[in-house]
Chain A
Amino acid sequence: MTTPRLQLTGITKRYPGVVANNGVSLSVAPGEVHAVLGENGAGKSTLMKIIYGSVKPDEGSVMFNGRPVHVRNPQEARALGISMVFQHFSLFDTLTVAENVWLGLDKSLTLSEVSASITAKAAEYGLDIDPSRPVHTLSVGEMQRVEIIRALLTSPQLLILDEPTSVLTPQAVEKLFVVLNKLASEGCSILYISHKLHEIRELCTACTVLRGGQVTGVCDPREESNASLSRLMIGAEPPALNVRALHAGATVLEVSGLTLASDDPFGTDLNDIALTVRAGEVVGIAGVSGNGQSELLVCLSGEDRRAPPGSIRVAGKDASRYGPGKRRALGLHFVPEERLGRGAVPTLSLAQNLLLSRRDALGAGGWIKVGALRAQAAGIIARYNVKANGPDAAAKSLSGGNLQKFIVGREIEAKPKLLIVSQPTWGVDVGASAQIRGEILALRDAGCAVLVVSEELDELFEISDRLHVIAKGRLSPSLDRAEATIEHIGEWMSGLWDAQGASNNKNEETAHAAA
């Protein structure tokens, strides 16, 4: 066997109160696409940060191309030939592609040289991109291409990708895989972090599974099933979701003629959105992020009160100008996509965070009954199996999945008539995801109307009764889940659901969709 490109031996990293990595060993061969699979909090990010030099391990050694190395910072990692594409892009919206790439490069190059090398790299890997375009005009898929090109310009021998497909359309994912396979065939090793089991099985030739900071399995994912992989990852099968026939009742949310210009210059304008959600059904909205989801959600939640009068009716009442508090009084509860900073105040305790959307523990004149509040929080922590250090734990001390369980629990306990959930399981591990989806379905069975906005098609197909697609601020007609296919929805994601619009700019839009 040849010398491994990267060899980790006995990597241990302790943080106070938690061992993030415990004796982790990992070996990546040259030209191998190696998956790192694990629940949130399993230690994947810490491990990647150790490889990339932003965290020091307490114990263990890192060998790169057979030589022991101590990577002190990302600059050194890049000098060694290690590049990383982060889940969240670090691009400046107002700069062009070339300027953004230039920022991370040696300053001896001129801008035109950088542009030329971008074009050359792009042509080599079929990553079509115009270096002179400002980044804010790019789709998310195109932004990711910029990040990948930026990584490739350093001619990496090891490329780390953190959840690269979470923001891509199915078509764009296929294109990404072509690029990754080409890279691997040229001898570049790839570390691929993902929750999506089928992607790992399709792309990767080796897989290291982490659980609780330890390696629980090394396998060839092509020979495994989703079930066997998730067993390695969470130790047990995720609980099955109960699916049953639709018993939709009265209309709870009715949106019609919702047209609204975004107040953010880089935002998306909403264009004649029409949508109905009835009691006892889950309606899903698919779409690539940045197509108007956040603008629509702030209109629905009441955080943006500029919606035209009559455009949003909740339980029969015109709520388009109501603030969030008044809408909650109508039974509308909302779980936002951003947990820390929006769904919860990071530095406040879980109990105090209840008050954001719940007023049960308030007495006359807005007096906060601290005892009742803590009891209420403790109840949610127990019922929703939130791993937290009691009701006084600060929100930011929880992992993403546990905080999401708490927030979802907080909104569900309010017995809403209409629950709107954005990205219910974004960055949440498999076990918690299954639990959250189960809670959403139980709520639906109890007769609540549910609207779910998600980028994860699998998730939407799993829980929705009907599906819409949002693209460029417009909402597609609804589609029963039974009739919907991934390909169909994927095509709609580029805005092609009505024939007339399609004929004009079909070619251009398909190109966008593929991005």
Chain B
Amino acid sequence: MLRLEVRPQPSKGWGYASPLLALAITVVIGVVLFAVLGKDPVRGLQVFFWEPIKSSYALSELMVKATPLLIIALGLAVCFRSNVWNIGAEGQYLIGAIFAAGVALTADKTTGPWIVPAIIAAGVLGGMVWAGITALLRDRFNANEILVSLMLVYVAVQVLNFLVYGPWKDPLGYNFPQTKTFEAVTQIPRLMQGSRVNIGLLLALAGVGAVWVFLFRTYAGYGQLVGGLAPAAARYAGFSSRKALWIALLTSGGMAGLAGALEVAGPIGQLTPYVPAGYGFAAIIVAFVGRLHPVGIVFSAILMSMFYIGGELAQSRLGLPKSITGVFQGLLLFALLACDTLIAYRIRYIPAALRATPSRGRSLQTGQAGSAAPLGSVAGAQSPVVSGSVQAGQE
């Protein structure tokens, strides 16, 4: 029989291995899922794990989707490590996109390329403003940031809908709820011809370095970590918890807003009701699967991007609904949470035969049900079954 035992010290190895095991479990469940749905599991896995990387075009699409996930998740890593639970990156992403669109819509035929930095700055500002509302309510009224940030996502969606159905609707757009297509000059510069990958990827990779340096090599980042790990120690050191709250939320909000700006002025090119693609929520999973570590997040962002693309391909190639993406995301997060148990616990196999030998008492539950029975007697061997509810019932 199997038992969970507390490890004397959390395992470092499992900290790395747990996401891999979680991925393996996700794949296994995915295979079962494909089989149950009557699809060829090999074909299903191919769609998710091979097609997204099989050609340079596929790879570039993988990067296009991974970029916003990576940028948002980096900000969330700073936030979560500071013990601030910003669940509303999706809303900050949207408001960033709206601010960026607002700047992009001012462009006309005469606008110079300076508009691109302005769009990006507006996006960052938008995300910060939206996260700043959460920070303000938490700081001023001690409102729970999880609820506030989550609710603000839905407010942001309504703001977007109001704009695209109302004031910003393209007059020449046959009454479709969308803005006019942005001028070409507002397009975020692409890295190469024939691919949609733009400088956002470079910004994201620079972000990886910047977040790593901030968290692990600067005093300010150290303050954030301490505030997250031991609030009393942060007070003792003199790190302000209010400052940490604002830094955490403004950083993650700004990053989410940046992702929104890059998306709306990049691959999308206009504001539509379909801007919210769930990147803000998926990035939470990306951040945790990447162990809140900037380098880990690179890998998990690519993985999550595969799920997005795989889901779209599954729709066209296998005739499965696109929501299979969400199923895989959910499976991965659940599997990860389960596997993380192994960081603090270990599984021990205890052969049934040994359980009757009380002298090997370390991990056996051989207590005698409250009364003192003779050591090693038949009664002693049987009593665990009577009283030990957890492992009873096999003899």
Which A residues are within 8 Å of any B CB, using their own CB? 15-16, 53, 56-58, 61, 64-65, 67-73, 75-76, 79-80, 301-303, 323-326, 328, 334, 336, 338, 341-348, 352, 355-357, 359, 362, 365-368, 370, 397
Listed by A's residue number, 5 A-B pairs whose Cβ atoms lie within 8 Å are: A324-B236, A328-B238, A341-B230, A348-B226, A368-B222
Report the separation of the CA atoms of residues A76 and B228 in the bound assembly, to the nearest whole angstrom: 39
Report the separation of the CA atoms of residues A343 and B232 in the bound assembly, to the nearest whole angstrom: 8
Does B8 lie within 8 Å of A16, measured CB to CB? yes
Report the separation of the CA atoms of residues A20 and B156 in the bound assembly, to the nearest whole angstrom: 58
Report the separation of the CA atoms of residues A61 and B232 in the bound assembly, to the nearest whole angstrom: 42
Does A56 lie within 8 Å of B226, measured CB to CB? no
A68 contacts which chain B residues (CB < 8 A)? 372, 374-375
A344 contacts which chain B residues (CB < 8 A)? 233
A346 contacts which chain B residues (CB < 8 A)? 229-230
Within 8 A of A (CB), among B230-245: 230, 232-233, 235-238, 240
Does A342 lie within 8 Å of B233, measured CB to CB? yes
B367 contacts which chain A residues (CB < 8 A)? 53, 69-73, 76
A362/B372 contact (C-beta < 8 A), A57-B361, A303-B236, A325-B238 known: no
B272 interface residue, CB < 8 Å from A?
A: no
Report the separation of the CA atoms of residues A76 and B370 in the bound assembly, to the nearest whole angstrom: 5
B327 interface residue, CB < 8 Å from A?
A: no
Report the separation of the CA atoms of residues A346 and B231 in the bound assembly, to the nearest whole angstrom: 12
Chain B positions 346 through 389: 1 when the CB is less than 8 Å from some CB of chain A, otherwise 0: 00000000000010011111111111101100001000000010
Does A58 lie within 8 Å of B375, measured CB to CB? no
A341/B232 contact (C-beta < 8 A), A16-B9, A56-B363, A367-B217 known: yes
Known pairs A325-B237, A346-B229 / 6 extra A-B pairs, C-beta < 8 Å: A58-B361, A69-B367, A303-B235, A324-B235, A342-B233, A367-B218
Does B219 lie within 8 Å of A362, measured CB to CB? yes
Those 5 A-B pairs whose CB atoms lie nearest each other, nearest first? A72-B367, A324-B238, A366-B219, A67-B372, A325-B238
A355/B363 contact (C-beta < 8 A), A68-B372, A324-B238, A341-B232 known: no
Does B218 lie within 8 Å of A365, measured CB to CB? yes
Residue of A nearest to B387 (CB): A72
Task: State the Cβ distance, B359 to closest chain A Cβ, in Å.
Answer: 8
Within 8 A of A (CB), among B248-272: none
Residue of A nearest to B369 (CB): A76
Does B372 lie within 8 Å of A64, measured CB to CB? yes
A365 contacts which chain B residues (CB < 8 A)? 218
Does A368 lie within 8 Å of B217, measured CB to CB? yes
Does B375 lie within 8 Å of A347, measured CB to CB? no
Does B238 lie within 8 Å of A323, measured CB to CB? yes
Report the separation of the CA atoms of residues A69 and B380 in the bound assembly, to the nearest whole angstrom: 10
A80/B236 contact (C-beta < 8 A), A57-B361, A368-B219 known: no
Does B232 lie within 8 Å of A342, measured CB to CB? yes
Chain B positions 161 through 195: 1 when the CB is less than 8 Å from some CB of chain A, otherwise 0: 00000000000000000000000000000000000
B226 CB contact (under 8 Å) in A15, A345, A359 = A345
Does A355 lie within 8 Å of B219, measured CB to CB? yes
B366 contacts which chain A residues (CB < 8 A)? 70, 72
Does B236 lie within 8 Å of A301, measured CB to CB? yes
Residue of A nearest to B370 (CB): A79
B220 interface residue, CB < 8 Å from A?
A: yes
Task: State the Cβ distance, A84 to closest chain B Cβ, in Å.
Answer: 17
Does A80 lie within 8 Å of B375, measured CB to CB? no
Task: State the Cβ distance, A10 to closest chain B Cβ, in Å.
Answer: 11
Task: State the Cβ distance, B174 to closest chain A Cβ, in Å.
Answer: 54
